[in-house]
Structure 1
Amino acid sequence: MKHPVDVHVGKRVRHRRWMVGMTQQQLAERVGIKFQQIQKYETGMNRVSASRLWDIADALEVPVSFFFEGLDQSQAPEVANESAPADILTDKEALELVRSYYAMPENQRRRLFELARVLSDAA
């Protein structure tokens, strides 16, 4: 049976890998393992050892703590906003939107953010 923490860490690995535009194969090569092992980590089928998580964090250029962020929230029941999935990191459209957002110049990002805020208040 998958442990919820292993599933959460795996989702965070997949999320970060996807955000930086890296394939499972590329991450596996940087860490020195087979891509099938990355697949197992990302689904929570296999636990990531501390040293391997350190290597993955280094390859993805994040602190190890990144993989545990939001852990309490991921185990809590879904809250008021029913239009958003319980785990936004699993929604490919949301991740694509975030990636596009951060690819924009900062001044355009701010303007888009304000527009989104106004539109969501009007809905």
Structure 2
Amino acid sequence: MKHPVDVHVGKRIRHRRWMVGMTQQQLAERVGIKFQQIQKYETGMNRVSASRLWDIADALEVPVSFFFEGLDGRSAEQSTNGMPDDLLSDKEALELVRSYYAIPENQRRRLFELARVLSDVA
């Protein structure tokens, strides 16, 4: 049976990997393991040891504490405003954020203002 903390840590590994645009294979190579092991970590099937988590954090350029952020015992259900509680575990949201930051800054600011206006209308 999967432990909720292992599942959470795995989701945070996947989240950060997506944010930096890294494949499971690339992360595995940086850490010195097979990509299947990364898959097992990301699903929570296998528990990540402290030393391995240290290596993964180094490869993904985050502090180890990153993997425990948001860990409060709640499940990732929809909140009252219709957004998932763990928005950054949603692949579509991550792709949107990555695409947003790929836009030149002046255009990005204009897009941001447009989104704010549209969300006020809704």
Structure 1: runs of 5 or more not aligned: none
- CA distance in structure 2 between the aligned counterparts of 1:92 and 1:77, rounded to whole angstroms: 15
Aligned-residue offset at 1:107: 3.0
Partner SS state of residue 81, structure 1: coil
Unaligned runs of at least 5 residues, structure 2: none
Give per-residue Cα distances to partners, 1:12-47, cap 9 Å, x unaligned.
Answer: 111111121111111111001111110000000111
Q: Which aligned runs of 4 or more in structure 1 are off by greater than 3 angstroms?
A: 73-78
Contact 2:54-2:64 within 8 A present in 1 as well: yes
> TM-score w.r.t. structure 2 length?
0.88
Aligned residues: 122
Aligned counterparts of 2:23 and 2:74: Cα–Cα separation in 1: 25
Please provide the CA RMSD for this pair.
1.9
What is the CA distance between 1:71 and its match in structure 2?
A: 1.6
2:4: which partner in 1? 4
The TM-score with structure 1 as length reference comes to 0.87
Is the Cα contact below 8 Å between 1:8 and 1:74 reproduced in 2? no
> Residue 54 of structure 1: SS of its match in structure 2?
helix
